[in-house]
Chains A and B, each alone.
Chain A
């Protein structure tokens, strides 16, 4: 069901982005990258937010469920952060004339990506399930502070990257009708995709834990059989 919505929504988004929306007065056709770059980062932010909440909940409740929610969302967040960086490099080359600068917004986003990759590397390096969950919950709590830095970086420091267009405290949106609609629509499709991915990724984590338990159980039975013989 969610999958069908995502497929149909993606088709509509592509039509809106490539055909229906006008070119920008300054940027020209390159503005069409807005509708993929910004929704990607929104999905990444929301996924990081889920990991943050799940990390806090794990430290409180210590249940497998919260560990799996947090780690699933973190993996999805790393994919969408990667996509944000890549589409941003292409957009930057097209409009700024450079694919990468060590500017505050770009640097802090790269750091967020490394934090998410580090989260997965830490999980892979942890010896057992409870230390894995504890360590990743601690890293997960760093995600939202990092996002605040990424999001505010364009105001706190001077940046090549532009200021917020939509998420403004003065609510003075700097974008017109159909362009705004396409942006919001693409973000909605991205969030439905996030829900779909989260369910499927959670199931993978759940099944992987069951497989791990079965292996441990088998090993234990084998050792008992050895001891009694």
Chain B
């Protein structure tokens, strides 16, 4: 029992050194480090730029912004449930190339919820629930406050 627990602890420590200290790169860092990153995989964090979301067959294209930089993203697969304008997301994927018009090719999307809790005033949520809400241009008040 004791040996099993110590072994698991060691695994957790190794995993955390691997991953946890730099869980994601912000959009501005992803741009400045583009040459070094090449086409290797990394996690990208940024806010979904309001009005940039466009669905296409098999995926969704949008921009994420952080600290003044904007990264165009092509995400293959369905966006997560809370995906919307102004929401902070963490994406897994890679740059398509190292040139200035490269896009970030993402295949996994996580929503990074912030620490703000605000009562829903109705309206916006119903729109999100039917799954077609992410094309709309209205920015949520909570996300705007968190940004």
Whether A associates with B in a native complex is yes
Closest to B18 in A: A102
Binary interface profile of B, 11-35, with partner A (CB < 8 Å = 1, else 0)? 0110110111111100000000000
Q: Is the CB of B15 within 8 A of A118?
A: no
Partner of A24, one of B18, B23, B24, B118: B118
A contacts with B, residue count (CB < 8 A): 43
Q: Is A22 an interface residue (CB 8 A)?
A: yes
Chain B nearest CB, measured from A206 CB (Å): 24
Q: Is the CB of B16 within 8 A of A34?
A: no
Which residues of B sit under 8 angstroms from A96, Cβ to Cβ? 80, 110-113
Q: Is the CB of B109 within 8 A of A26?
A: no
Q: Is B125 an interface residue (CB 8 A)?
A: yes
Q: Is B55 an interface residue (CB 8 A)?
A: no
Which residues of A sit under 8 angstroms from B19, Cβ to Cβ? 102-103, 107
Q: Is the CB of B20 within 8 A of A104?
A: yes
Q: Is B60 an interface residue (CB 8 A)?
A: no
In A12-63, the 8 Å CB interface with B consists of 22-28, 31, 34
Partner of B12, one of A114, A162, A176: A114
Which residues of A sit under 8 angstroms from B21, Cβ to Cβ? 104, 157
Q: Is A158 an interface residue (CB 8 A)?
A: yes
Q: Knowing A96-B111, A107-B12, A107-B16 touch, does A25 contact B119 (C-beta < 8 A)?
A: yes
Which residues of B sit under 8 angstroms from A108, Cβ to Cβ? 16, 20
Which residues of A sit under 8 angstroms from B129, Cβ to Cβ? 28
Q: Is A179 an interface residue (CB 8 A)?
A: yes
Chain B nearest CB, measured from A150 CB (Å): 12
Q: Is the CB of A118 within 8 A of B119?
A: no
Which residues of B sit under 8 angstroms from A176, Cβ to Cβ? 117-119
Q: Is the CB of A103 within 8 A of B113?
A: no
Q: Is the CB of B109 within 8 A of A118?
A: no
Q: Is the CB of B119 within 8 A of A24?
A: yes
In A103-147, the 8 Å CB interface with B consists of 103-104, 107-108, 110-111, 114-115, 117-118, 121-122, 124-125
Q: Is A95 an interface residue (CB 8 A)?
A: yes
Q: Is the CB of B16 within 8 A of A114?
A: no
Closest to A91 in B: B113
Closest to B82 in A: A95
Q: Is the CB of B125 within 8 A of A23?
A: yes
Which residues of A sit under 8 angstroms from B45, Cβ to Cβ? 158
* Most chain A CB atoms below 10 A, which of B84, B109, B118: B118
Q: Is B116 an interface residue (CB 8 A)?
A: yes
Q: Knowing A26-B87, A97-B80 touch, does A158 contact B24 (C-beta < 8 A)?
A: yes
Q: Is B115 an interface residue (CB 8 A)?
A: yes
Q: Knowing A121-B1, A121-B2, A160-B90 touch, does A31 contact B117 (C-beta < 8 A)?
A: yes
Chain B nearest CB, measured from A161 CB (Å): 9
In B121-147, the 8 Å CB interface with A consists of 121, 124-125, 128-129, 140-143
Ranked nearest first, the 4 interchain pairs of A and B with the lowest CB-CB distance are: A97-B80, A22-B119, A102-B19, A118-B5
- A interface residues (Cβ-Cβ under 8 A, vs B): 22-28, 31, 34, 94-98, 101-104, 107-108, 110-111, 114-115, 117-118, 121-122, 124-125, 153, 157-160, 162-165, 174-176, 179
- B interface residues (Cβ-Cβ under 8 A, vs A): 1-2, 5-6, 8-9, 12-13, 15-16, 18-24, 45, 80-82, 84, 87, 90, 109-121, 124-125, 128-129, 140-143
Given A25-B121, A179-B117: 9 more A-B contacts, CB < 8 Å: A22-B119, A25-B120, A26-B82, A97-B110, A98-B110, A117-B5, A125-B2, A160-B23, A162-B113
